[in-house]
Amino acid sequence: MDLFDYMKEQNLEQEAPLASRIRPSTLEEVVGQEHIIGKDKLLYRAIKADKLGS
């Protein structure tokens, strides 16, 4: 990655819609749902193992 790629990436992040900028990108960033996606919960393990059904 060179300086121009870095600047382009920074501009895209700043110009993205607010919803895109604040959307959690990891399970650890999801707040208030520990009873569903806590470390030892079924959904957390299924997501991490990439074993989600439809």
- Does the structure show a pLDDT above 80 at 49? yes
d(Cα 8, Cα 17) in Å, to the nearest integer?
16
Any idea where the domains of the chain sit in the sequence?
A: 25-54
Q: Check whether 6 has a pLDDT greater than 80.
A: no
The Cα angle at residue 29 between residues 49 and 26, in degrees rounded to 5? 35
Question: Could you tell me the pTM of the whole model?
Answer: 0.46
pLDDT of residue 31: 81
The rounded distance, in Å, linking the Cα atoms of 50 and 44 is 10
The distance from CA 38 to its chain's CA centroid, rounded to whole angstroms, is 15
How does pLDDT run across 10-44, given as a tens digit for each residue? 777 778 888 888 888 888 888 888 888 888 898 88
Would you say 43 and 37 are in contact if contact means Cβ atoms under 8 Å apart? yes
| Higher pLDDT pick, 5 / 51 | 51
